[in-house]
Amino acid sequence: MRTRLMSAVVVAAVTLAFAGLMTGCGPSRSAPAGPSGGATTRPATAARPAEGGQDEPCPTGEPPAVAKAPKDTGEDTKPCPTGTEGQKPPARYPADSPFADNGSPPAAKQPKRIWANSFLFAEAPKLVVEKWLTAKPETKGKYVLLEFWATWCGPCRRSIPLLNKFHAKYKDELVVIGISDETEADVRKLKSPQIEYYSAIDTQGRTKKAVGVWGVPHVLIIEPGGAVIWQGFPLLKDHELTEEIIEKILAIGRKLKKQRQ
């Protein structure tokens, strides 16, 4: 009972702390957020999927089906006017104003997209491992960073140095795990970049399917009570998984731990 209560406290604290850092999550390509997607399929060995671009993960399956948007009738779908059309803000602004000299507001960030079902602030699916390629980590009382990845995926390989850095700096508080649905032989063939964190395989992709992942790399950060507090493509522009985010997450955990002592 106490564990569940503390888990709820951690999730609530992270929600407040990250109100300005994280936007609502939902699959890209017009797919709505939520568990509407089905199980993903592994890429065929003979014909690998195309690697993701700089700002997109590598596809590993089809996105969830989407219902067509209702036709815009023009009625009750437009905002209420609050001034003259085309009117700009005053020409002069305070020195610290976010508005540009030409009167235009700062460019808005693109909404965060994820290539999976959203488990943000919900209980994470159980991690199912077929075989550990490293020693099995001890996760009790620690945060877990779980990344679904594949050796054939360019963005996955680019994220390895970042995860190595997190593992080296925060290993006493954060367990970093990479899990692939490839064979052990395929994963061990990858020599560069070298993986320095915990590594595992599950050729059936059971946890990956439970999360509904259809683009890799895909990261879940799970707090000690089992709730997901960060999720997404770690290299997504304007929504990158950074050391600053890891620091904020762990700082909340340290504060709560100190309060319990």
Average pLDDT, the chain: 78
Q: What are phi and psi of 192, to 5 degrees?
A: -145, 130
Q: Please, which residues have CB within 8 angstroms of residue 20's CB and are 6 or more apart in sequence?
A: none
12-26, 31-45, 55-69, 122-136: segment of lowest average pLDDT = 31-45
Residue range 32-70, pLDDT digits in tens: 334 334 444 444 444 566 666 667 899 988 777 755 544
Percent of the chain with pLDDT over 90: 56
Q: Please, which residues have CB within 8 angstroms of residue 239's CB and are 6 or more apart in sequence?
A: 22, 23, 109, 112, 232, 233
Instruction: Look up residue 201 and give its two tokens.
Output: 């395989």
**H or E element at residue 4:** helix 2-17
- pTM for the model stands at 0.69
Q: Cα 136 to chain center, whole Å?
A: 23
Q: Which candidate, 24, 81, 25, places its Cα nearest to that of 212?
A: 25
Nearest-angstrom CA–CA distance, 160 and 153: 11
Residue range 150-166, pLDDT digits in tens: 999 999 999 999 999 99
Q: Please, which residues have CB within 8 angstroms of residue 211's CB and are 6 or more apart in sequence?
A: 116, 117, 119, 125, 148, 218, 220
User: Burial, 77: exposed, middle or buried (Cβ in 10 Å; 0-12, 13-18, 19+)?
Assistant: exposed
Nearest-angstrom CA–CA distance, 23 and 16: 12
Sheet holding 228-232, edge to edge: 131-132, 198-201, 174-180, 143-149, 218-222, 228-232
Residue range 99-108, pLDDT digits in tens: 555 556 666 6
Nearest-angstrom CA–CA distance, 91 and 88: 8
List the domains of the chain with CATH numbers. Answer: 2-32+109-260 (3.40.30.10)
